[in-house]
């Protein structure tokens, strides 16, 4: 028997059966000639290879690989032309040239192209001749369907009871056929009358059918399908599972997606159910998603999570504002404690609920001379934002920078204006607050501290990357075409890992009025994890990168890599950022 590898890793399939058959059939074959014939047949290498190919195809059926190019024969021709002149110069080139010219290779590549271009659908058969005279307006459609869904939804007309095609999914089997249209009335499927059937029953008939399906339809009035529509992409700001959606007209036609997924909108024709596909997905068939308007209405009817009160992890009174970081993120560290010294003034830690559904996006790659995108770090207090920022600044001080805060407190002897702080009068500080000059500001022991918009601009204009640590509610103000912020959420690891990694670390306790650094307590860890969860629920849709700060060097490398990508690679950003 040829030494062929068995389908290891797959479930026992045809190949294994083929190997076992000769011995199993042996007792049932009386004639020795038949026995030899069967023995030889089952041992044929070609048969084994065929079965292997079958098993591979079964495997690919589930993994659905997509071709990189669909005209590899053209590519081979070009390569051969290039190689022809150089065959004398190099043995390897000569060998490759001959290999590409072999008929087997050419056939293999041609088969590749046929499969890649999906041009293997059989020709549709001619219309049946036994059509009745009074059926001129009836159309007989014969579709050859494989395992993919039919790609259309149907509905029952409330008044007439007729079964109508409700929508055709863009790129699906029905759409590609070009034969079925919205509004067509379905009369028969595979010879079965559908008049008195419920849409679910018809869907079942369709789902079970493979190969040729014959439809008898009365064509509806054709709508003009707009062509050359510009491509519209949106970022999903919520998770969606059609299987959990009671309102969707056909669960199987729905498209599941996660918060942050990029969706290409293929049709907004139906104001309640848009058609979309996941960006980068090779499957051309659209799926149904709730339209922006519909989803907004549904969210508005639900009680928004954002307005729910925060569950405290401890009954002990904490001076931290609503569980968020005590330090005002943008401050320089105080010289004595090496820590930020003031609290955030704003008490609106949680925005009143924005209805978040989809955001229209487009690709953006920073032109080499353009200003850098603002890098914003957010996370619960004590998670390590200052530590990560410090590491970035040390790693490349000419490239990364942080803002210098303003303060109304008096300058101390050893301090210089514009180094530790910009020192301004209380009166001027208040005027600047009034004129919205601060991204964040706060008050500590009667003095104001704040970070101005101009201090960010000043760094960006020097062609440096500005690293900003802010409270999450500030993100909204920063999301402008000018700053194009890249938002990184730093989240804590598990409580066990916090205990292990933060053994020697210190945090400024919100319960300690002196503001001195103390070792982390269990309560600090719980509060950090709890706050991170709330932040993720409320602001998760704005985060472009989430880093778990477990081991500090790993977290730092991850951050560094993400920032390199932001500088050099294409990212999805809100459309409004590119129309300035």
| Residues in touch with ligand ATP (CB under 6 A) | 325-327, 329, 339-340, 379, 381-387, 501-502, 505-508, 549, 552, 555
- Specify the residue for token string 């491509």: 231
Minimum separation from the CB atom of position 423 to ligand ATP (A):
23
Buried b (16+ CB within 10 A) or exposed e, 29-64: eeeeeeeeeebeebeeeeebeebbeebeeeeeeeee
Of residues 422 and 506, the one with the C-beta less far from ligand ATP? 506
Distance in angstroms (rounded) separating the CA atoms of residues 67 and 555: 36
Minimum separation from the CB atom of position 389 to ligand ATP (A):
8
Minimum separation from the CB atom of position 466 to ligand ATP (A):
17
Residue 417 CA, chain-centre distance (Å), reads 46
Of residues 47 and 505, the one with the C-beta less far from ligand ATP? 505
Of residues 254 and 384, the one with the C-beta less far from ligand ATP? 384
Minimum separation from the CB atom of position 456 to ligand ATP (A):
18
Identify any residues that bridge with 277 across adjacent strands, giving them in sequence order.
264
Minimum separation from the CB atom of position 491 to ligand ATP (A):
11
Residue 481 CA, chain-centre distance (Å), reads 22
- 329 near 469, Cβ under 8 Å? yes
Helix (H, G, I), strand (E, B) or coil at 61: helix
Of residues 292 and 339, the one with the C-beta less far from ligand ATP? 339
Of residues 156 and 552, the one with the C-beta less far from ligand ATP? 552
Structure tokens at 66: 């997509």
Of residues 388 and 566, the one with the C-beta less far from ligand ATP? 388
Helix (H, G, I), strand (E, B) or coil at 517: strand
Minimum separation from the CB atom of position 552 to ligand ATP (A):
4
- 257 near 218, Cβ under 8 Å? no
Residue of minimal Cβ distance to ligand ATP = 384
State the burial class of residue 152 (Cβ atoms within 10 Å of its Cβ: 0-12, 13-18, 19+).
Answer: buried
Of residues 291 and 331, the one with the C-beta less far from ligand ATP? 331
Minimum separation from the CB atom of position 560 to ligand ATP (A):
15
Distance in angstroms (rounded) separating the CA atoms of residues 94 and 263: 47
**Phi then psi dihedrals of residue 181, to 5 deg:** -130, 160
Give the helix ranges, DSSP H, for 231-303.
292-301
């Amino acid at each position: 028997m040829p030494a062929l590898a068995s389908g290891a890793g797959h479930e026992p399939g045809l190949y294994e059966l083929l190997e076992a058959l000769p011995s199993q059939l042996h007792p049932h074959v009386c004639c020795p000639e038949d026995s030899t014939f069967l023995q030889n047949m089952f041992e044929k290498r070609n048969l084994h290879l065929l079965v292997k190919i079958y098993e591979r195809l079964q495997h690919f059926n589930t993994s659905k690989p997509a071709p990189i190019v669909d005209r590899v024969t053209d590519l081979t021709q070009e390569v051969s032309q290039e190689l022809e002149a150089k065959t004398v110069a190099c043995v390897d080139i000569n060998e490759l040239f001959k290999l590409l010219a072999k008929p087997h290779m050419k056939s293999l590549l041609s088969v590749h192209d046929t499969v890649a271009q999906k041009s293997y659908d059989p020709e549709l058969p001619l219309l049946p001749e036994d059509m009745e005279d009074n059926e001129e307006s009836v159309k007989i459609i014969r579709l050859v369907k494989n395992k993919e869904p039919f790609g259309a939804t149907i509905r029952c007309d409330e008044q007439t009871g007729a079964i109508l095609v409700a929508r055709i999914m863009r790129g699906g089997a029905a759409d590609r056929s070009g034969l079925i249209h919205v509004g067509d009335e379905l009369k028969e499927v595979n010879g079965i009358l559908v008049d008195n059937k419920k849409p679910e029953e018809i869907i079942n008939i369709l789902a079970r059918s493979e190969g040729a399906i014959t439809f008898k339809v009365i064509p509806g009035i054709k709508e003009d399908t707009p062509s050359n529509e510009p491509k519209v992409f949106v970022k999903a700001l919520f998770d969606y599972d059609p299987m959990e959606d009671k309102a969707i007209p056909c669960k199987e036609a729905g498209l599941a997606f996660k918060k942050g997924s990029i969706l290409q909108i293929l049709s907004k024709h139906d104001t309640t159910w848009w058609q979309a596909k996941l960006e980068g997905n090779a499957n051309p068939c659209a799926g149904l998603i709730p339209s922006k308007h519909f989803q907004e209405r549904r969210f508005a009817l639900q009680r928004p999570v954002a307005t729910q009160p925060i569950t405290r992890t401890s009954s002990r009174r904490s001076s931290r504002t609503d569980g968020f970081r005590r330090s005002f993120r943008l401050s320089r560290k105080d010289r004595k404690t090496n820590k930020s010294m003031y609290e955030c003034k704003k008490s609106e830690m949680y925005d009143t609920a924005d209805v978040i559904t989809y955001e229209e996006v487009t690709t953006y790659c920073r032109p080499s001379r353009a200003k850098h995108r603002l890098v914003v770090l957010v996370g619960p207090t004590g998670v390590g934002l200052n530590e990560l920022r410090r590491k970035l600044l040390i790693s490349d001080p000419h490239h990364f920078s942080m803002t210098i805060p303003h303060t109304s407190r008096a300058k101390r002897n050893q301090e210089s204006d514009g180094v530790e702080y910009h020192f301004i009068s209380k009166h001027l500080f208040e005027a600047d607050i009034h004129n919205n000059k601060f991204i964040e500001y706060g008050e500590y022991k009667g003095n104001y501290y704040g970070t101005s918009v101009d201090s960010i601009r000043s760094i960006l204009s020097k062609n440096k990357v500005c690293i900003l640590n802010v409270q999450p509610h500030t993100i909204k103000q920063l999301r402008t075409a000018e700053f194009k912020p890249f938002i990184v959420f730093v989240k804590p690891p598990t409580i066990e890992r916090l205990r292990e990694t933060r053994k020697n670390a210190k945090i400024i306790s919100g319960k300690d009025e002196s503001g001195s650094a103390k070792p982390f307590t269990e309560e600090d860890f719980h509060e950090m994890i709890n706050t991170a969860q709330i932040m993720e629920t409320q602001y998760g849709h704005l985060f472009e990168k989430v880093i778990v700060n477990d081991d500090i060097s790993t977290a730092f490398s991850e951050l560094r890599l993400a920032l390199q990508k932001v500088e050099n690679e294409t990212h999805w950003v809100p459309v409004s950022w590119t129309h300035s």
